[in-house]
């Protein structure tokens, strides 16, 4: 198949979902009024499809320091961290992240995707073997491919399957890299970290946890699932993003002092322009808020429970556990598209997730809740889903 044949095939697939109404691949949120409200066309909508878990995108302090950095340091660094793109604020944020996680080292990247790509591709070289949960994010898969490592997938959240595969590796198990996520972004479930840590202790290996969706959300101080389960000391590297709870853009890795070598060997770190000063400033403010306002996490989980229980009561098939990610399982792609459009007509925006982004070939209406949603907004979402069943 030639290049243009591939383009034609992909265009035809997209066209199937553009025959009428809104286009799920190109819908524009025309205005955003707050962490929970926006406008699509002429419709005011409740935003229930963002990853803005703590609702900090409109935090006054984060906006103010971001605006000041924009005025004082300009719109961008125009260079990578290895060139002119390391400002004092980048180094300050790295120190603050390391302190927050009680780790020796933190490295800031331009995006969460780049953080995964940069760390994992450098470690997962052609001599390495990597065991990853089959539901891991695309950036983790891409990083393993870029590094050239042998990739072994184990069944989602199945510690016994991981153990079987570690047994088969024999001596190689002691140097294997195990990668899982905290909260999985599509189904909202969490990794069985206690069981995985026990396997690591028996067989060896290195454990990397992507806490992108669990950072700020779980743990006594918001450090994520590893903190929630009391196994932080057994996680070698924590990876994360600024685009969820920290309400900006960028990524990070925290770990031991030995991780500093990544600054001189990670191609995505070396050859990507660094985050803008305004992004860094707003992240620093949001990190302080996460540390100082645990009530935001409490409100987030109360909102998540309200939505989950409300949708469960009216008969929808949901993810296995209450989580800020509330996936509603829908039958066919066509039905999912119809429901998604009808929800927008009723003033609610959620994510339409189709295979292969949705696991196991299912179609999802993915809701994500944040701490800024009011009870009335949660109830409006439930009412909109109720109307779909009529």
Distance between CA atoms of residues 121 and 141, nearest Å: 10
Q: Calculate the dihedral angle through the C-alpha atoms of 197, 200, 205, 206, rounding to the nearest 10 degrees.
A: 0
| Alpha-carbon span 203 to 165, nearest angstrom | 11
How many C-beta atoms surround the C-beta of residue 100 within 10 A?
A: 18
Taking the complete model, does pTM exceed 0.85, yes or no?
yes
Residue 342 has pLDDT above 60, yes or no: yes
Mean pLDDT of 351-369: 89
Q: Is 22 a residue whose pLDDT tops 90? A: no
Tokens of 224: 């994520």
Is pLDDT of 47 > 90? yes
pLDDT of residue 14 exceeding 70, the answer is no
In the predicted model, is pLDDT for residue 70 greater than 70? yes
Q: Estimate the crossing angle of helix 375-388 against helix 333-345, to 10 degrees.
A: 130
- Interval 340-344 mean pLDDT: 95
Handedness of CA 273, 223, 205, 181 (dihedral sign): negative
Peptide bond into 356 cis (omega under 30): yes
Structure tokens at 234: 């057994």
Residue 27 has pLDDT above 90, yes or no: no
Does residue 64 surpass a pLDDT of 80?
yes
C-alpha–C-alpha distance, residues 120 and 144, integer Å? 6
pLDDT > 60? residue 352:
yes
Measured CA to CA, the distance from residue 382 to residue 380 in angstroms comes to 5
User: What's the confidence (pLDDT) of residue 332?
Assistant: 86
Give φ, ψ of 154 to 5 degrees. -115, 155
pLDDT band at 364 (very low <50, low <70, confident <90, very high): very high
For residues 44-70, give the mean pLDDT: 98
Q: What is the pLDDT of residue 390?
A: 67
pLDDT at 359: 81
Summarize pLDDT for 102-137 with one digit per residue, the tens.
999 999 999 999 999 999 999 999 999 999 999 999
pLDDT of residue 356: 80
The tens digit of pLDDT for each residue in 164-203 reads: 999 999 999 999 999 999 999 999 999 999 999 999 999 9
Burial class (CB in 10 A: 0-12, 13-18, 19+), 139: buried
More confident residue, 319 or 182: 182
Per-residue confidence (pLDDT) for residue 10, from 0 to 100: 58
- Is residue 284 within 8 Å of 61, Cβ to Cβ? no
**Mean pLDDT of all residues in 59-79:** 98
Cα distances from 48 to residues 6, 127, 146, 193, 255, in angstroms, run: 34, 43, 34, 28, 33
Indicate if the pLDDT at residue 13 is higher than 80: no
């Amino acid at each position: 198949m030639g290049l243009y044949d591939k383009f034609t095939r992909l265009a035809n697939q997209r066209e199937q979902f553009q025959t009428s109404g809104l286009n799920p691949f190109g819908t524009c949120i025309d205005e955003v009024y707050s962490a929970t409200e926006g406008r699509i066309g002429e419709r005011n909508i409740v935003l229930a499809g963002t990853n803005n878990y703590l609702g900090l995108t409109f935090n006054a302090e984060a906006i103010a320091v971001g605006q000041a950095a924009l005025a004082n340091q300009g719109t961008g660094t125009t260079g990578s961290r290895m060139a002119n793109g390391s400002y004092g604020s980048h180094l300050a944020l790295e120190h603050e992240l390391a302190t927050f996680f009680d780790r020796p080292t933190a490295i800031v990247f331009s995006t969460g995707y780049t953080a995964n790509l940069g760390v994992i591709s450098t470690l997962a070289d052609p001599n390495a073997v990597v065991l990853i949960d089959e539901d891991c994010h695309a950036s983790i898969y891409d990083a393993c491919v870029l590094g050239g490592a042998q990739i072994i997938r184990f069944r989602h959240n199945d510690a016994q399957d991981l153990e079987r595969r570690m047994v088969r590796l024999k001596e190689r198990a002691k140097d294997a890299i195990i990668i899982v996520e905290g909260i999985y972004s599509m189904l909202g479930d969490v990794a069985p970290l206690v069981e995985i840590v026990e396997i690591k202790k028996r067989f060896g290996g290195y454990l990397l946890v992507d806490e992108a969706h669990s950072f700020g959300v779980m743990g006594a101080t918001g450090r994520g699932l590893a903190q929630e389960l009391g196994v932080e000391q057994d996680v070698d590297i924590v990876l994360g993003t600024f685009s969820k709870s920290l309400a900006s853009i960028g990524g990070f890795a925290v770990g031991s002092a030995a991780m500093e070598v990544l600054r001189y060997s990670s191609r995505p770190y070396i050859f990507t322009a660094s985050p803008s000063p305004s992004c860094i400033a707003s992240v620093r403010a949001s990190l302080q808020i996460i540390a100082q306002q645990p009530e935001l996490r409490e409100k987030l989980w109360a909102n998540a429970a309200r939505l989950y229980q409300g949708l469960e009561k009216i008969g929808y098939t949901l993810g296995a556990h209450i989580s800020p990610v509330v996936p509603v399982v829908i039958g066919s792609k066509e039905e999912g598209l119809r429901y998604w459009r009808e929800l927008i007509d009723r003033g609610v925006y959620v994510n339409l997730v189709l295979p292969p982004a949705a696991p196991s070939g299912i179609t999802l209406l993915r809701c994500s809740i944040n701490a800024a949603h009011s009870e009335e907004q949660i109830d409006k979402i439930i009412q909109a889903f109720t109307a779909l069943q009529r």
